[in-house]
Each structure stands twice: as C-alpha cells, then as structure tokens.
Structure 1
C-alpha cells in the first residue's frame, strides 16, 4: 500500500495548521491534541498565528492571539476555590471566605498548574512580615486544602502549599488565674 500523496500547496505550511474546509483554518495543539478554531481568516494570518502558537508551545510561554486562547482554557485558582466544598456550618464558611479572598487577591487569575512553591511562600511571608502570624498560619492551611483539591481534580501536579515552611505562632498572652483574696 502506497502512502497518500502530499499536497504541494501545503508544503510551506507550519506544523499543526489544518484546513478542513476551503478558507477555514484550525490549529491542533500538540500537547493535548485539542483543535482550536481560527475561523475564516486569510492564509497569511493563519500561518502567522499558528507559527506563533508553535513557538509558544515549544518554549512553554504564553503571549497573545491564538496563544491567549490556549492559556484561557486553563483552570485558575479562583475556579478552584469555587469548586471547594460548602457543606459546612455557616460560621466556618464565613471565616473561610476571608481566607479565600486573601488567596484570590494574591493569585486568583493565575492558572493552577502555574502556581509554584515560591508563590505560596511569598504570600505567607508577606503576611508574616506584616506581623499577622496567626492569619498567615490560617491562610497557609486553607491554601494547602485548596491545592489538595486541585491535585485531586487533576488541575495541579503537586500540592505546592504543603511544601512551604510552617508558621510558628508564639502565644503572647497567659492564662488567667483566679486568686481568692478576701
């Protein structure tokens, strides 16, 4: 059986550029084999966008245009926090809301797979430097649970918050003792 004949007109096209219908272009991501639609655009623009996307996939960095759409498909930390369980008492849910807001403020729009140990450590250290030791401890604990959920969902490779240094809080107050002085 002989191989299929090559199309001469497509010999100068970049890898992963496809034309399923005349004038309609798509790009197939070599990492996860998903097809991204470019639509009805000129051939020159399709070649430009696909070349840029291929370079980004090779480098592992994300820029704009087609590559921007690739990065938007990732799951962010905000999406992960939204998936956390809410089957708890109202008072616990209210206190966790503040922890979640702190985490969202630090890296809410960041993709889960791009979250690093340095990011988690920087958040905890910033809270520690402000003198909020117990708050840093609580946020670290919540971040560990959020990252564990991310690992369970397959959005993250490892729990990056668990690797960070524990926050040691020294109790500054003492127990009151009742003295009976009459």
Structure 2
C-alpha cells in the first residue's frame, strides 16, 4: 500500500534505493533532513508545524489585541515615516524600502524583540547558500539600521541590536579588472566617433560611471566640471590633464566632441534622430553600457573565470594609470576618503609585477650582482 505523505514532507531516493525524508522549516525556509523512517519523519513534521501554528496564532492575537509590538507594526508606524522624513538620495530611499518590505515578509508578525540573532543569521545563511552573499550583507545592514531606529524610539532597550551581533557575510568580488592592453583592444573596435569619445572621456576623467558620462557637459573656465551622480561630490578637472601612458589629452578629446557642430550642452550626444532620442540629446547610460559590452565581445577579451568587466572598470584602470604619474587620484575620483580610492587601486589578482633586473634604485641594486653560488647569510 502506498504511503500517504502529509503536506510539507518531501522525499528523495538515494543511489542505493533508500528513501530519505526532508522538510522545510516553516519560519526560516531552510531544508532539514528527517532520516529514512517514515513514521518518525511524520511525527517530527507534525510537531514542528503545530509549534509554528501556536507561535503564529499568538503573534496574530497580539497584533489584533494591541498587546504586542510586531516587526511589521514598527516598520509601518516608525521606520518608513523616518525614511520619508530623512534627507537622502532617491535611490537610497528606494533601496531601504525594498529591504524593509522583504524583511516584513519574513519577520512581520513576530514581536520586534523576538527577532533574534539566531533567526537573522539563519535567514542570511539561506541567501549565502544560494550564492547571494551581497544580498545577505544588505539584509544585515538594513536590519542593523532598523534596530538602531527601534532603540532610538524606545521600542527596544539600548545596546540590544541583534543584527550587529551576526557575522557579516564575506563577499568575494568576482568581476574582472580591466588592463590597459584590454582597453586598447576594445578601443580598436570602436568605429563610431562617439564610441571613441566615450572611451576617451571615461579613462581621461576617471568618471566611467554611465550616469556621469552621459551627463558630462561642455567645460567652462578651462575646467571640466563633474558632479558624481552616486555621491553628489564634485571635482573640477583642468583640460590640460594628460594620460601619459596613452598620450591622450583631455582638452583634445573635448574639442573632438565639439567637432560635430551640433548645438548640445552634452559632450556625448546624438548626431541624428534615433527612435525617441533627438539630435543633440545626451546618449543614455543604457546605450553606453551596451556599447562597451558589444565592443568587448567584438575584441574577444578573455575574462577567465571572472565576470566580464564593465565600462565602470575603466575607472579603476584610470586610477591606477594616473597613480603612476603621481596624480592625486583621491581628488580626481571625487572620493571623500583615501580608503575608497585604495579599493580602485586593487587589481583583484589580474595584474602581475615584473622584476626589473636593470633597476638602479638603492633598494634593488644588490640584485644585479652576479650570483656566485655561495649560500646567502
């Protein structure tokens, strides 16, 4: 007689033919093994479901009777109004709302004080196991912000932020860094003049973010004025700036942008009507992204086992090249801290340093002496 499995009980057959049972935890969503005994597996599942129903019923009753301060109630009455009242970038506000909504789905009916470090850790583990460590990191940051607000408004006791007690998920950067040789190969594939200007401006200004490139406007007073879309920080770059490794000058590229003879405030602009874009309109960030991707594919760039580099990686390459010239790259990149600039200087293992045996610097001149085969003391 075929066994009738209760709802929520899952099974799979091993290579040796043995059937094993599993279930998903009603609260965390994690899969747990229940062994191969069908009766025991059913009993454990029923106990787990009964316990969860009891907790769930109590949480709903608390919310209805007003005797419990639930996670969802705090988000709706305190956290979201705080986000709306705080001066922040629209993209930041949108991101915080997104994660607040996600967290309400997970912890909504639970009393705020019962959202423990263990529950948070298990919830994040589910994302890490699916290869979404960065999302898990964002969840941790969002919860930390939520509980900080709860403490400041008296919903929780001081020094009781359960999110801060969790271990921050380690995020391994998988996108490849762009090398100068790869950049040259990509540039060689550019056939349209605006494609060349896009690449030139990206590496000459170090502002390769598509939103920043798309809105670059004509210079004034001998400077290119750039305000970063991401942070709002601004920098004035003199047109005399030259990237020595390529022999390119910013002023020359700006002059080439103006050679289209089209009246437009933007350096990168359409020279003819295309679809909804009119002549003189700025080139959209999406088109810049897609164009770089197409040029890289056409150039046959081998990214190895890492994700393909994007146009934004030109920013890191530019920082490294200007660093060799002695340019203050923190100012050039419009960074508030040197730590941010250091991250761009990291090649992520995509660069190799060559030992120069002809160097005459005091630190390396001893390497030029002939090795006589004797042990070094």
| TM-score range relative to shorter protein | 0.5 to 0.7
Map of 1:118 onto structure 2: 118
Aligned CA RMSD, in angstroms, stands at 2.6
TM-score (norm 1): 0.58
Task: Give the greater-gyration-radius structure (CA).
Answer: 2
Structure possessing the higher relative contact order (Cα contacts under 8 Å, 6 or more residues apart) = 1
Tell whether 2:137 aligns with 1:137: yes
Map of 1:147 onto structure 2: 147
Shift of 1:79: 2.2
Shift of 1:153: 2.0
Shift of 1:144: 0.5
Question: Structure 2 residue aligned with 1:170, among 154, 165, 172?
Answer: 172
- Residue deviations 1:23-82 (CA, integer Å, cap 9, x gap): xxxxxxxxxxxxxxxxxxxxxxxxxxxxxxxxxxxxxx9976xx8579632221122223
1:68 to 1:170, Cα distance in 2 relative to 1, 3 A: closer
- Residue deviations 1:92-117 (CA, integer Å, cap 9, x gap): 11112221122111101111122211
Tell whether 2:68 aligns with 1:74: yes
Q: Which runs of 5 or more residues in structure 2 are unaligned?
A: 1-54, 189-377
1:172 to 1:117, Cα distance in 2 relative to 1, 3 A: same
Map of 2:318 onto structure 1: none
* Distance in 1, Cα, partners of 2:167 & 2:154: 24
Shift of 1:154: 2.2
Q: How many residues align?
A: 120
Map of 2:105 onto structure 1: 105
* Distance in 2, Cα, partners of 1:141 & 1:150: 14
TM-score (norm 2): 0.29
1:74 to 1:132, Cα distance in 2 relative to 1, 3 A: same
Shift of 1:166: 0.8
Q: Is the 2:133–2:170 contact (alpha carbons within 8 Å) kept by the matching residues of 1? A: yes
Q: Which runs of 5 or more residues in structure 1 are unaligned?
A: 1-60
